[in-house]
């Protein structure tokens, strides 16, 4: 069964600090997706990682993928209040002929001024 | 610009009522998805469709059905609403290739009394 786990589930950090969110998954997928959700709003795509060693960066966020370890990280550099949101990773794969797209439980990030 | 719309942002229904949630996308996407989002459980896939009149069960299809009569429209039906179906419902669409991100609608917050 495909499982996607994120940690931490909650993260409160000071502005200017660095931190990393981890996403572990149980299947052999080479594709991993990161989304952001602001309170009361829907999800929007941040990154799509399509191969082992892939790294994508946008502003203060950088995502990487290690398919051998089945691990993706979302690194936050010098956090600012605007980054406060819930971050989800998701993995898709074919399991027993069935297409699956599974989200992690999300990491709720709060950046304190 | 990519657009996924959902028929209602907020909905209040009574136990036993039949509920229709509609989703429309204007991107000519083949794949469409219905999720529910609950605190602590992340997003869970209810049903998805990869073509007109085609549907596949997701992880939690019980108590729900779907309809896809036209490519741009994907409806979620609660045959007889129950209180445990109170949730945020999110619709998404994606192009046919598996390694693509999903585009989400704004969500419908459903309360079943």
Q: Give the model confidence (pLDDT) of A70-97 as tens digits.
A: 999 999 999 999 999 999 999 987 777 7
pLDDT at A39: 87
Q: Give the model confidence (pLDDT) of A24-76 as tens digits.
A: 999 877 789 999 999 888 899 999 998 888 999 999 999 999 999 999 999 99
The answer to whether A70 and A25 have CB atoms below 8 angstroms apart is: yes
pLDDT at A15: 95
Which of A45, A98, A101, A105 would you mutate first to test chain B, the one with the most B CBs within 10 A? A101
CB-based contact, B42 to chain A, within 8 Å: yes
Q: How far is A72 from chain B (nearest CA, A)?
A: 16
Give yes or no for residue B2 having a pLDDT over 90. no
Give yes or no for residue B98 having a pLDDT over 60. no
Give yes or no for residue B111 having a pLDDT over 90. yes
Dist CA A68 CA A30 (whole Å): 9
Is B81 within the bounds of a domain? Answer: yes
**Count of CA atoms in the C-beta half-sphere (13 A) of B74:** 32
Other Cβ atoms closer than 10 A to B105: 24
Is B21 within the bounds of a domain? Answer: yes
Can you name the residues that pair with B21 across neighbouring β-strands? B76
pLDDT at B101: 82
Partners of A104 on chain B (C-beta within 8 Å) are 42
Other Cβ atoms closer than 10 A to B14: 10
Is B111 within the bounds of a domain? Answer: no
Partners of B56 on chain A (C-beta within 8 Å) are 98-99
Q: How many residues appear in chain B?
A: 113
Is B107 within the bounds of a domain? Answer: no
Is residue B58 classed exposed, middle or buried when 0-12, 13-18 and 19+ CB atoms within 10 A define those classes? buried
Tokens of B97: 């290739």
pLDDT at A101: 83
What is the 8-class DSSP label of residue B83? Answer: G
Contact between A33 and B45 using a beta-carbon 8 Å cutoff = no
Residue B60: CATH number of its domain: 2.60.40.10
**CATH code linked to domain A4-112:** 2.60.40.10
Range of the domain at B36: 4-8+15-100
pLDDT at A61: 97
User: From B42, which residue of chain A is nearest by alpha-carbon distance?
Assistant: A105
Give yes or no for residue B108 having a pLDDT over 70. yes
pLDDT-derived band of residue A1, with 50, 70 and 90 as boundaries? Answer: confident
pLDDT-derived band of residue B99, with 50, 70 and 90 as boundaries? Answer: low
Compare CB distances from B42 to A44, A50, A105 and report the shortest one's residue: A105
- How many domains are there within chain B? 1
């Amino acid at each position: 069964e495909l499982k996607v786990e994120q940690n931490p589930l909650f993260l409160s950090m000071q502005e200017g600090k660095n931190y990393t969110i981890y996403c572990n998954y149980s299947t052999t997928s080479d594709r991993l997706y990161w989304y952001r959700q602001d309170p009361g709003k829907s999800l929007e795509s941040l990154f799509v990682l399509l191969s082992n060693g892939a790294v994508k960066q946008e502003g203060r966020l950088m995502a990487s993928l290690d398919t051998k370890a089945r691990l993706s990280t979302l690194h936050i550099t010098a956090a600012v209040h605007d980054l406060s949101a819930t971050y989800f990773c998701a993995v898709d794969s074919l399991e027993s002929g069935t297409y699956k797209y599974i989200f992690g439980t999300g990491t709720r990030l709060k950046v304190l001024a | 610009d990519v657009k996924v719309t959902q028929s209602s942002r907020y909905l209040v229904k009574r136990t036993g009522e039949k509920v229709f949630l509609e989703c429309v996308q204007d991107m000519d996407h083949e794949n469409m998805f219905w999720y529910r989002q609950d605190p602590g459980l992340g997003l869970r896939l209810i049903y998805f469709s990869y073509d007109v009149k085609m549907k596949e069960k997701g992880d939690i299809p019980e108590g729900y059905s779907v309809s896809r009569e036209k490519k741009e429209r994907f409806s979620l039906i609660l045959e007889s609403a129950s209180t445990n179906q109170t949730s945020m419902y999110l619709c998404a669409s994606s192009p046919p290739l598996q390694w693509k991100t999903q585009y989400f609608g704004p969500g419908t917050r459903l309360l079943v009394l």
